[in-house]
């Protein structure tokens, strides 16, 4: 992450290892069950997008998952929740080690999600947007029976996804890391203009594109679910709390209660990361006790809008025991 010195605007770093894993031989990395390990973090929305996609498609047996803890330092994400502070499969303490195996002398950002080849310990890709698309397309042969189609209308999904990325997903970061009032004001206005637009869009339809969950919903939801816990206060995105926005709050609860979404969220790790790592924003490192999360399991009423969450598919089963998160409330 960085800030433009002239404008004070937040600038997201380029992704450092943007290879692809394909089934058609178009890359050096073939689709193969058990070959790769997805490294994510419960705190990170970008990783959460891929974690949800993997859950919905039923790829848990084909792609194992390691979870970096919420706290890290300049050396990168660290496996401090695992015994001995070491990922049990990759045998590393810091994710940077896998990046350096792939690119000796690596000096770009160390981010999650990252797909790592288990045998070599090398990061194959940290390109989250392409990875989530490839999980739906290149990995189709390993999907569970009943896996949903998350790309029912790729053009519409990408079109609405652009605005979500720039103004919402990245927009909250632009608010939080702005170093000038002008940059903050511009990001804040763009965020809330887009949130109002999305609220209007969702007031008469259950999902963003079509009548079932698509990748567009995953992209928006990972920011909404963290909004009150982190972005409203920590990033000064504070016109309203999510709980004060009737349409988006109901939409977010609907998805939270859908298998594959809420069962990937650990609110404590979200707060520990944002308030504990961003010293420039929260120099004391104090982590707030709130907000109350009990509301996430209350009735949302979105069923009245119709729609079929998984289209012609079926819900995923429960997450593996090792991947379960604490219940809310």
Tens-digit pLDDT profile for residues 38-95: 999 999 999 999 999 999 999 999 999 999 999 988 888 999 999 999 999 999 999 9
Long-range contacts made by residues 76-84, C-beta under 8 angstroms, separation at least 24? 76/110, 77/39, 77/41, 77/110, 77/111, 77/112
In Å, how far are 4, 158, 229, 245, 254 from 307, measured between CA atoms? 43, 20, 29, 21, 12
Partners of 40 in the β-ladder? 67
Instruction: List active site positions.
Output: 44, 173
The mean per-residue pLDDT over the stretch 199-208 comes to 98
In Å, how far are 17, 43, 182, 198, 271 from 191, measured between CA atoms? 29, 21, 14, 11, 21
Per-residue pLDDT for 10 more than 60? Answer: no
Q: What's residue 109's pLDDT?
A: 87
Q: What's residue 7's pLDDT?
A: 65
Q: What's residue 127's pLDDT?
A: 93
Q: CATH 1.20.1050.10: which residues of the chain?
A: 154-323
Instruction: Read off the pTM.
Output: 0.95
Cβ-in-10-Å burial (0-12, 13-18, 19+) of 191 comes to buried
In Å, how far are 34, 50, 124, 157 from 96, measured between CA atoms? 22, 20, 13, 33
Which CATH fold would you assign to the domain 154-323?
Glutathione S-transferase Yfyf (Class Pi); Chain A, domain 2 (1.20.1050)
Given pLDDT bands bounded at 50, 70 and 90, which one contains residue 6? low
- Span 97-146, pLDDT tens digits: 999 999 999 988 899 999 999 999 999 999 999 999 999 999 999 999 99
Q: What's residue 17's pLDDT?
A: 86
Spatial contact of 228 and 164, defined as CB atoms under 8 Å apart: no
Phi, then psi, of 153 in degrees rounded to 5? -145, 80
Spatial contact of 252 and 221, defined as CB atoms under 8 Å apart: yes
Q: CATH 3.40.30.10: which residues of the chain?
A: 2-142
Which CATH fold would you assign to the domain 2-142?
Glutaredoxin (3.40.30)
- Alpha carbon distance 190, 59 (integer Å): 36
Establish whether 46 is an annotated binding residue: no
**Mean pLDDT value across the chain:** 95
């Amino acid at each position: 992450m960085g800030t433009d010195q002239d404008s004070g605007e937040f600038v997201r770093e380029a992704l450092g290892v943007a290879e692809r894993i394909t089934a058609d031989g178009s890359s050096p990395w073939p689709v193969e069950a058990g070959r790769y390990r997805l490294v994510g973090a419960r705190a990170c929305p970008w990783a959460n997008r891929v974690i949800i996609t993997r859950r919905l498609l039923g790829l848990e047996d084909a792609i194992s998952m390691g979870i970096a803890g919420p706290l890290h330092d300049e050396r990168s994400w660290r496996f401090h929740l695992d015994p001995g502070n070491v990922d049990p499969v990759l045998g590393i303490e810091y994710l940077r080690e896998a990046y350096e195996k792939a690119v000796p002398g690596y000096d770009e950002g160390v981010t999650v999600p990252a797909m790592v080849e288990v045998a070599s310990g090398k990061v194959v890709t940290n390109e989250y947007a392409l990875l989530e698309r490839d999980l739906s397309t290149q990995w189709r042969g390993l999907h569970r029976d009943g896996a949903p189609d998350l790309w029912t209308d790729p053009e519409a999904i990408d079109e609405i996804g652009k605005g979500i990325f720039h103004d919402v997903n990245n927009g909250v970061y632009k608010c939080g890391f702005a170093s000038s009032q002008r940059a903050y004001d511009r990001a804040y206005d763009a965020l809330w203009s887009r949130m109002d637009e999305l609220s209007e869009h969702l007031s008469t339809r259950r999902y963003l594109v079509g009548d079932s969950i698509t990748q567009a919903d995953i992209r928006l939801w990972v920011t909404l679910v963290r909004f009150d816990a982190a972005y409203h206060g920590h990033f000064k995105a504070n016109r309203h709390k999510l709980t004060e926005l009737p349409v988006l709050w109901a939409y977010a609860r609907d998805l939270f209660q859908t298998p594959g979404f809420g069962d990937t969220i650990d609110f404590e790790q979200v707060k520990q990361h944002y308030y504990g790592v961003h010293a420039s924003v929260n120099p004391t490192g104090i982590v707030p006790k709130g907000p109350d999360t009990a509301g996430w399991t209350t009735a949302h009423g979105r069923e009245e809008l119709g729609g079929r969450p998984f289209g012609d598919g079926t819900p995923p089963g429960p997450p593996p025991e090792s991947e379960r998160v604490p219940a809310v409330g």
